[in-house]
Chains A and B, each alone.
Chain A
Amino acid sequence: MAIDRRKVIEDMSKIEVLGGNNGLIEAFGVYVNQLPTSFWNSFADKLTRKVDPELYESTEYLLVNCGAECGYHTGYGIINCEEWNAIVKPMVESTEDVLHGAFAVFTAWGWANIEITELVPGEKMVVRAYDYYEADIVKYGATEMMSAYMIRGVSAAFMALAYAGKYDASGDKFNTFKCNQIKGIECGDAYGEFIVTKA
């Protein structure tokens, strides 16, 4: 692997985004926000706990979908941005390097301390998250409900960016892959583990 993950994290984590005179942050082809993680966790946690059990699966799907669309569009913006070109692109020799680099950026931006542990190009990817804000819903003990919806969505989207052909702004391709969470810090495991396969 050509990606110097440590350097990518160190350099990309220093990027600060500030709102312009209009109070909007326009970067990576999207409007960016930097909100407290407690907001995202609070809504997802409360919604999934209170929803009718028959609707849980749909709610879970939609929460994962939020991450997938975000990951697909913003991910594309990231791997084409000036900072990526300056810091990561010189290390990239293959599509797989792009994926490793993208997960280093994923880490640098505070979504999760996450890396790829297994990759079968175009078929399967296993990622492991040693820390992630979505696990913060549990302060003591463990829940039976795996809740890293954003990580699942973004991981599947990154795989789609790598292997589902040219970027499609309409978003038809971001669900080419699906991601299942098989371990979770919020569930008492030492780390979160996620398996991405073709949908």
Chain B
Amino acid sequence: MAEFKKITLELDHKFSPKESRHFINGTQSVFHCHHYTALYTQLAMDAGETKLLQASAEESFYNLLVSYYNNKCIEHIEDKISIACQYYSAMGLGLIDVKYLGDNSGKVISTNSHLEEGWIKKWGKFDKPVNFIGRGYVAAMFAAILKLPTGTFFVDENKSIVTGDNETVFRIFKK
């Protein structure tokens, strides 16, 4: 019987002293904290631009994932999912687990969340879901895995750590 070996995310971190910029797998990246992510999210909510925040996240994460899949010649869906989940954690965004992924729908669960646990640490619990950055990541992940363009999937949260649930549930629907 063949043994299943989980693929491991490789992180190639480089610092360019001339520009003072950091790159992870060729993508320029930067440290920020939960205050920054929480305040960006609050700003998007105040401005009525949560879709813009989610779309900005989706576009950025899509490019990162597609680039990784292409550079590492990753084709199998299980491998793509595993890499996407590991990438989420490597960036410090928390834990995600794909319950199912289909052509038209899906379900992803997060048991730890940078944005939501950071939000609670900063302001306490909130009465509605706030993880628009996570939604963008999940939409990007589904599109990248299925080789579809960004904007293909709608994502919402029907359970949320920030509202007091013990996990966040992302629901994915094809638009």
Contacts and interface: CB of A to CB of B under 8 A. Distances in A.
Nearest to B110: A23
Interface stretch (A81-89, A92-100, A109-117, A158-166): A109-117
Contacts of B89: 19, 23
B60 A36 contact: yes
A23 B113 CA distance: 8
B28 A34 contact: no
Interface string A22-57: 111100101111111111101100110011000100
26 contacts: A9-B17, A13-B15, A13-B20, A19-B92, A22-B112, A23-B88, A24-B112, A24-B117, A31-B114, A31-B117, A32-B33, A33-B93, A33-B114, A34-B30, A34-B32, A35-B30, A35-B32, A36-B29, A36-B64, A38-B28, A42-B56, A47-B47, A65-B39, A110-B20, A110-B31, A111-B31
A43 B44 contact: yes
B59 A42 contact: yes
B35 A70 contact: yes
A30 B118 CA distance: 8
Contacts of A10: 17
Given A13-B15, A37-B28, A133-B30, A31 B118 contact: yes
A46 B57 contact: no
A39 B61 contact: yes
Interface string B8-35: 0000010101011110100111111111
A74 interface: yes
Task: Name, among B61, B64, B89, the residue most crowded by chain A CB atoms within 10 Å (CB to CB).
Answer: B89
A23 B94 contact: yes
Contacts of B36: 66-67, 69-70
Contacts of B15: 13-14, 108, 110
A16 interface: yes
The number of chain B residues touching the other chain, given as a range, is 35 or more
Interface string B111-155: 110100110010000000000010000000000000000000000
A79 interface: no
Contacts of B118: 30-31
B144 to A, nearest CB: 14
B52 A39 contact: no
B119 to A, nearest CB: 10
A25 to B, nearest CB: 4
Contact of A35 (B60, B95, B111, B112): B60
Contact of B32 (A14, A40, A131): A40
B37 interface: yes
A177 B93 CA distance: 31
B60 A32 contact: no
A63 interface: yes
Interface string B39-71: 110011011010011001101110110000000
B17 A110 contact: no
A138 interface: no
A39 B31 CA distance: 12
